[in-house]
Every structure is written in structure tokens, then in C-alpha cells.
């Protein structure tokens, strides 16, 4: 029997969930292509001077929590073989973090609603200590995205006064920021430890962030050019990263 599904499969197509990606307007696509082309021939060493940063939210009992267990047939609901969940997710925390080719920098838990003033305070308390601990060379560059708090006049003035060089960044481009890979790694490790409350969640996040091997960070930066070639190959649209 010939069906649409059979016909599509015969042509090498299969049914998959559509990936969620940032909405890219023509201006975003153009900016992403320009960024990729402008930096395509940058030497690997130039990316080693970048301090990458970002914020992320981590749920206490997120729907992405996963855990594989070995169990007997009738032990599916034994406590050690389950992941506890609560209605409405059980809360979450917001984190700011940074890393370079040499390893992870500071990780900070954002307790209140973020403002430009608070962002400057976070940078003031965590940016230079991270640079020192990672032994970054002179001429290092700070990367952050175009969140309104990052591009606010107050933030720009703070960065200028501190003589911090900021990388020009295309909007709607998390796939160009390798810290996203570290966030995924962090969330997986945290979910496997099953934190019991928000205090426990924050503590575990800090512990697991510090455990990320410097070699993982170095490899993400070493392969950065592949992200640029993927953007160009996709004509500016979102990539697998």
C-alpha cells in the first residue's frame, strides 16, 4: 500500500520533532553571515583570548531531567528508580557564568530580577577574578550577547571605564556561543544528582561547573571555526550548535 509516509521515507525523509531555534529576521541572518565571514580566517589563538559569558535558567525539577537506571521488572516505582517531580516545576535559579579556552570561570547565582545595575555588579565581582584565575593574557576580549541589560548605557559606560574590550556580537546567535555546550553539560550533570531544593540546586551547580575539565573548554574553542563554517553553509540561519 502506497502512503505518504512510505513515499517520504523512500526519499530518505523521516518524521522528527521540529527543533526550537531563535527567530531570525533578515537583519539577524545578515549580521550572522557578516560575523562568520569577518572571523572565518581568524587564527585559533585569537579565540583563546576570548572570555565567553552567558546566563541560563536551571529548573529544580525540570522536564528535561533524565536518569537511566538498572532495575527489576516490578521495581519501576521504587524511590531509587524514579525522579521526583512537583507541580509547577518546583522553582528554578538563574545563573551567570563565563569560561575561556583554559577552563571555567566564576559561576554566580542571580537572586533578584536582573537590571543593568545588577549586571554591572555581577561583572565587577566576577569578571576580573575569572580573568586572573584563567591566566588570560593581555588583550583578552569579553563576549556577551545583546540582551538589553548588556547593551544598556550604564553597562557600556562601566565596561568603557574598566577598559574592557567587548566582542561585537550578532543578535539571536546562541549557536555561536560555545558556553551553550557547557550549559547543556551542566544541566545533565545536575539532573543526575537530583537536588532536593533550590539551595541544594545552587550548591550542586557550583560543584559541577567547577568539575568541567579544562580540556572540554579548550576543545570547544579549538573547534570554533566549525561554527562559522556552519553558519555560512546555512546561509546565516541556525546551525546544529
Residue 30 CB-half CA count within 13 A: 3
pLDDT of residue 62 exceeding 80, the answer is: no
Between CA 19 and CA 38 the distance in angstroms is 28
Between CA 110 and CA 107 the distance in angstroms is 10
State the CB neighbour count (10 A cutoff) for residue 6. Answer: 10
Return the minimum-mean-pLDDT range out of 25-39, 72-86, 95-109.
Answer: 72-86
Element (H, E) at 94: strand 92-100
Element (H, E) at 96: strand 92-100
pLDDT of residue 224 exceeding 50, the answer is: yes
Closest alpha carbon to 170 in 92, 87, 237: 237
pLDDT band per the 50, 70, 90 thresholds, residue 79: low
pLDDT of residue 233 exceeding 90, the answer is: yes
Q: Concatenate the DSSP letters of all residues of 202-216 into one string.
A: HHHHHHHHHHS-HHH
**What digits encode the pLDDT tens for the residues 142-167?**
999 999 999 999 999 999 999 999 99
State the CB neighbour count (10 A cutoff) for residue 98. Answer: 25
SS3 81: helix
Between CA 170 and CA 45 the distance in angstroms is 21
Q: Does the predicted TM-score (pTM) go above 0.85? A: no
Q: Residue 20 has what pLDDT?
A: 72
Return the minimum-mean-pLDDT range out of 57-66, 106-115, 183-192.
Answer: 57-66
User: What share of the chain in percent tops pLDDT 90?
Assistant: 78
Can you list the domains of the chain with their CATH numbers?
4-234 (3.30.420.10)
Between CA 154 and CA 121 the distance in angstroms is 11
Between CA 170 and CA 157 the distance in angstroms is 20
User: What share of the chain in percent tops pLDDT 70?
Assistant: 80
Q: Residue 22 has what pLDDT?
A: 85
Between CA 220 and CA 215 the distance in angstroms is 9
pLDDT band per the 50, 70, 90 thresholds, residue 63: very low
17, three cell numbers: 520533532
- Answer with the residue of higher pLDDT: 6 or 176: 176
Query: 109 near 133, Cβ under 8 Å?
Result: no
Q: Residue 87 has what pLDDT?
A: 47
**What digits encode the pLDDT tens for the residues 116-145?**
999 999 999 999 999 999 999 999 999 999
Q: Residue 15 has what pLDDT?
A: 53
Q: Residue 1 has what pLDDT?
A: 57
- Tell the burial category of 130 from Cβ atoms under 10 Å away from its Cβ (0-12, 13-18, 19+): buried
pLDDT of residue 220 exceeding 80, the answer is: yes
Query: 206 near 236, Cβ under 8 Å?
Result: no
Q: Residue 16 has what pLDDT?
A: 55
Q: Residue 21 has what pLDDT?
A: 78
Q: Residue 61 has what pLDDT?
A: 77
Please compute the mean of the pLDDT values over residues 63-78 and round it to a whole number: 58
Residue in this structure with the C-alpha cell 574598566, named with its chain if needed: 162
Amino acid at each position: 500500500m502506497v502512503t505518504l509516509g512510505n513515499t517520504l521515507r523512500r526519499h530518505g525523509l523521516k518524521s522528527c520533532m521540529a527543533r526550537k531555534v531563535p527567530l531570525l529576521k533578515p537583519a539577524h541572518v545578515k549580521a550572522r553571515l557578516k560575523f562568520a565571514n569577518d572571523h572565518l580566517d581568524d587564527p585559533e589563538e585569537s579565540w583563546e583570548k576570548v572570555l565567553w559569558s552567558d546566563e541560563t535558567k536551571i529548573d529544580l525539577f525540570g522536564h528535561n531531567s533524565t536518569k537511566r537506571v538498572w532495575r527489576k521488572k516490578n521495581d519501576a516505582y521504587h524511590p531509587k528508580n524514579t525522579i521526583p517531580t512537583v507541580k509547577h516545576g518546583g522553582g528554578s535559579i538563574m545563573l551567570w557564568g563565563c569560561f575561556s579556552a583554559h577552563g571555567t570561570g566564576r559561576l554566580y547565582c542571580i537572586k533578584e530580577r536582573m537590571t543593568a545595575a545588577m549586571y554591572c555588579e555581577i561583572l565587577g565581582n566576577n569578571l576580573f577574578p575569572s580573568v586572573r584565575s584563567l591566566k588570560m593574557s593581555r588583550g583578552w576580549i569579553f563576549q556577551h550577547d545583546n540582551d538589553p541589560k548588556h547593551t544598556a548605557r550604564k553597562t557600556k559606560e562601566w565596561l568603557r571605564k574598566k577598559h574592557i574590550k567587548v566582542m561585537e556580537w550578532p543578535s539571536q546567535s546562541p549557536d555561536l556561543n560555545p558556553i551553550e555546550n557547557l550549559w547543556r553539560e551542566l544541566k545533565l550533570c545536575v539532573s543526575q544528582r537530583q537536588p532536593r531544593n533550590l539551595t541544594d540546586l545552587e550548591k550542586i551547580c557550583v560543584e559541577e561547573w567547577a568539575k568541567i575539565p579544562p580540556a572540554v573548554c579548550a576543545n570547544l574553542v579549538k573547534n570554533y571555526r566549525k561554527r562559522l563554517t556552519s553558519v555560512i553553509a546555512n546561509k546565516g540561519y541556525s546551525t546544529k550548535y
